[in-house]
Amino acid sequence: MSKAKKKIKIRKKPVVIIITTVLCLLLLSGFLIFYLINENKYYKIKSRVDAVEKQAKKDKEEDYDIVGWIRVQGTNIDYPVIYAPDHNFTYDMENFAWTEVDFKKLNNITYIQGHNILNLSKNPLIAEKYHTRFEQLMSFTYLEFVKENKYIQYTFKGKDYLYKIFAVSYQTSSDIDYYNKDNYSKKKMQKYIDNALENSIYDFDIDVNSNDKIISLVTCTRMFGNSISFKVDARLVRNLESVKNYDVKKTKEYSKVEEQMKGGSSNENEV
């Protein structure tokens, strides 16, 4: 074999290695992109920015202001949030939720309320289509539902925010600070978080701290009497944090709910 042929043969090896390496990297990148895209398919934000603007124009003559839009995974809760200091919330508010504060910015804690009129049984129904207020929030009473539904979307001031649920609890209604207008201090935030976690009927596998922003959804319940509210707390998804499912299990507080569930299944049509 001539020297020229030997040189050509020797030169082919690094070219093959380079091509193989590039192909492997492209294949790895493809798998990575596929993984990231599919990982974040657990909850896809569907913007409600335009919906807020349209609803505000439609209801401009009403005695309330459209301030946002709430959407809860696994439920038909997907409607406007209003601020209405002079509105009577007692019997209506179908397909609406409300806040007691006209926020100018996204505070580190936001309370949003909705009626539960048709799902007051000690064995609440799960995601019934004819429930058009906050009745479907009661679906979070059941572990199997919570395992697959953990995100809350809140549209506010032209932006869609996504929150991860970290606590579900029964709270004395008078202890809920509906009228808070300002950001909580770090100390007050931590106290709120500690209380929510301590009373939660579930243990969610995510962390939450006083630097997080929290949304708290509250509705009526008769599980423990008239003075108790049902509350779902979630923290804002952090920058670069994955939007995916995460583990959850019952806490010792759930045994109290199970005990009440044995008491009956009739629905009470009360506000």
Does residue 216 register a pLDDT over 70?
A: yes
pLDDT score for 269? 46
Q: Which of 1-15, 47-61, 194-208, 237-251 has the lowest mean pLDDT?
A: 1-15
8 A C-beta contact, residue 134 and residue 219: yes
* For residues 9-17, average pLDDT: 61
Annotate 100-139 with DSSP letters as a single string.
Answer: SS--SS--SEEEEE---SS--SSSPPSS-TT--SSGGGGG
**Cβ neighbours around 66 below 10 Å, total:** 22
Question: CA angle 198-199-202, nearest 5°?
Answer: 90
Residue 118: pLDDT band (50, 70, 90) is confident
Cβ contact 83:101 at 8 Å: yes
Q: How confident is residue 271, by pLDDT bands cut at 50, 70 and 90?
A: very low
- The CATH number given to 49-261 is 2.40.260.10
pLDDT digits (tens, 9 = 90+) for 18-33: 776 777 776 666 655 5
Q: How far, rounded to the nearest angstrom, does the alpha carbon of residue 60 sit from its chain's CA centroid?
A: 28
- Give the confidence band of 119 by pLDDT, cuts at 50, 70, 90: confident
Span 229-233, mean pLDDT?
Answer: 96
Residues 196, 198, 204, 208: what is their CA dihedral angle, to the nearest 10 degrees?
60
The confidence score (pLDDT) of residue 136 equals 94
Look up residue 181 and give its two tokens.
């207008």
Six token digits for residue 43: 């909850």
- DSSP bridge partners of 230: 170, 219
Q: Which of 18-27, 121-130, 161-170 has the lowest mean pLDDT?
A: 18-27
Domain boundaries defined on the chain = 1-39, 49-261
- Quote the pTM value: 0.82
Count the Cβ atoms, other than its own, within 10 Å of residue 244.
Answer: 14
The residue length of the chain stands at 271
Q: What is the mean pLDDT of the chain?
A: 86
Confidence of residue 208 (pLDDT cuts 50, 70, 90): very high
Looking at residue 140, its pLDDT comes to: 96
Quick one: pLDDT band at residue 232, thresholds 50, 70, 90? very high
Structure confidence at residue 32 (pLDDT)? 58
